[in-house]
Amino acid sequence: QVPATVDEESIQEKFKAGKGKLSVDVASYGGLVPFNLDGGIQELDSNGVVAYKCFLATCGDRSIEGDFMNVDDYSLYEGMKQIAKTGKILSIHAENAAITDKLGEIASKNGETSLRAYVDSRPVFTEVEPIRKIILFAKETGCRVHIVHIACEEGVDEIVKAQQEGVDITCETCTHYLYFYKEELDNIGPVVKCSPPIREQLRLEGMWNRVLNGDISFVTSDHSPCTPDLKATDNAFEAWGGIAGLQNNVDVLFDEGVQKRNMPLSKFAAIIATNPAKRFNLASKGSIAVG
């Protein structure tokens, strides 16, 4: 297993694992975790990460030494101070760990293990609350921030308000939040379990409106593949939490956006390629241009 990318040694191990095996250009995130605040951030910067990533939602396997781990409030604050000095972006998975973990525990104890029960254990406010905290920390630290795979309109609106106040913050959503909806999940199965969860059908057009008007900067896949056995369970809380969507991201966005909602092709190109390349300063990517 390739270790979590949290310092010089681990990122070099990742580079070594991919050498000679890649058919496309790739760039690497560096992780922000509670245990790499004593030099790890700077090592990752020196080794060429394009940005950093952290989780506020619970993640990682505590039985594996050095596995990726979600940040507490102090680690987030201190990490943002250090990352601000690099000038790079911190991408954040924004969900309240304490509340979602406890609601999930209660549901499981009550025998409520369906996908809809899983969604109900991660209500919208558990996305919005950490986004507000992140905005406050960004104001305090000057850290540039990007909220990944946002699933609710309220969270987007908080980000737009912060932008108007001068905070350097953007957000993305994913094609699965623009296509699936909660009411159909139990008929589909654990293959569509993700975090934040798929939300109600009535929210679909609200999210699309924010894509089309530019409030959501780009649309991504949040590609999280796994072997089929990790999804083969009727207990949604035990199933792997992620969707393998990279292979369908472009065609779903084109079909749902351009063909069904009259998205201009220039807008399609911007949110699928140009905007993310500009935001993360990916040289010679995202557009066809002179030079």
CA-CA distance, 233 to 241, in Å (whole number)? 12
% residues pLDDT > 90 (the chain): 94
Model confidence at 62, in pLDDT bands (50, 70, 90)?
Answer: confident
In angstroms, the Cα distances linking 228 to 60, 177, 190, 221, 239 are 20, 22, 10, 19, 10
pLDDT score, position 1: 73
pLDDT score, position 208: 98
Model confidence at 189, in pLDDT bands (50, 70, 90)?
Answer: very high
pLDDT score, position 2: 80
Q: Read off the pLDDT of residues 47-59 as tens digits, 9 standing for 90 and up.
A: 999 999 999 999 9
Q: Measure the CA angle with vertex 115, ends 113 and 119; round to 5°.
A: 105
Q: Tell me the domains of the chain and their CATH numbers.
A: 8-280 (3.20.20.140)
Is pLDDT above 80 for 182? yes
Q: Read off the pLDDT of residues 22-45 as tens digits, 9 standing for 90 and up.
A: 999 999 999 999 999 999 999 999
Q: Which two tokens stand for residue 109?
A: 């104890």
Provide Rg for the chain, Cα atoms. Answer: 19
Model confidence at 217, in pLDDT bands (50, 70, 90)?
Answer: very high
pLDDT score, position 64: 81
CA-CA distance, 24 to 278, in Å (whole number)? 19
**Do 60 and 70 meet the contact criterion of CB atoms below 8 Å apart?**
yes
